[in-house]
Structure 1
């Protein structure tokens, strides 16, 4: 999990994903549409990806560890949490506070 924490702190928004996950694509696209430059870590293309996904699944309390979204180095959650924040109007302020949005 140290590797996950290190990666999660490299950008304002980091998304742990797999290339075949439609929900990962959806959440990544949301951030792109908001104008956020995310770092996407494709776990199926990383030699340590399987280990990282298992750790993320434990953190998320789910069987799957992706997507896992970190904002400002802190775990926000998966697609449902990100969408909930967006629909409630709380995602953009969170992104501004993390330095991911300037406007």
Structure 2
């Protein structure tokens, strides 16, 4: 307390943390992608993940969840993935 005799209420000092000035989020992502590690990561992502989402959304038109609740949506997502995997087995085949 700075002056206990002058005030009847308790004085408390607290310090606020300094907020760092962040760059624009788009600029941060551009810097990550432009690094050698970022280019390698993006190349692998486009080769593995993106075609699956594109196939499900545009070719199969499975772009919405019709159920509500996390457990049900999770089950529906697993069915979407199952249809994708069955199609891959049918066309590229485990039986060929």
TM category (shorter chain) comes to: under 0.3
Larger Rg: 2
Q: Point out the structure with the larger helix share.
A: 2
Q: Point out the structure with the larger strand share.
A: 1
